Structure 1
């Protein structure tokens, strides 16, 4: 049985990239307010576990984990 989310996910402005012509790097890099030039637009972020059974694919969390 699926449990409903505890909060609503924020929306991202802009359009979803063309699946046949994806940008290099993170697929959200051209629409993300936290995009880090030279990082997000060049590489796909790894999957990071932020808590039990909760994973994200974002360099913002990758760099936070190292702090």
Structure 2
């Protein structure tokens, strides 16, 4: 069984907080990349839902891509 609530419970609030704080692209990529890896280890299965929310942020898109999650148009 997957970890479907990981996005709205953990990933999305952290990503929004980093954006609101004006975090650099490097900080967003590193922090969220680590978070993505950890959530995937817990069987996160709604990664694309979270990725879709942040498609306008290249650093976040890169963090997902570095963990094998790409948005297909």
As a proportion of its length, which structure holds more helix?
Answer: 2
With the length of structure 2 as denominator, give the TM-score of the two structures. Answer: 0.27
With the length of structure 1 as denominator, give the TM-score of the two structures. Answer: 0.28
Question: Which of the two has higher C-alpha Rg?
Answer: 1
Greater RCO (Cα-Cα under 8 Å, separation 6 or more): 2
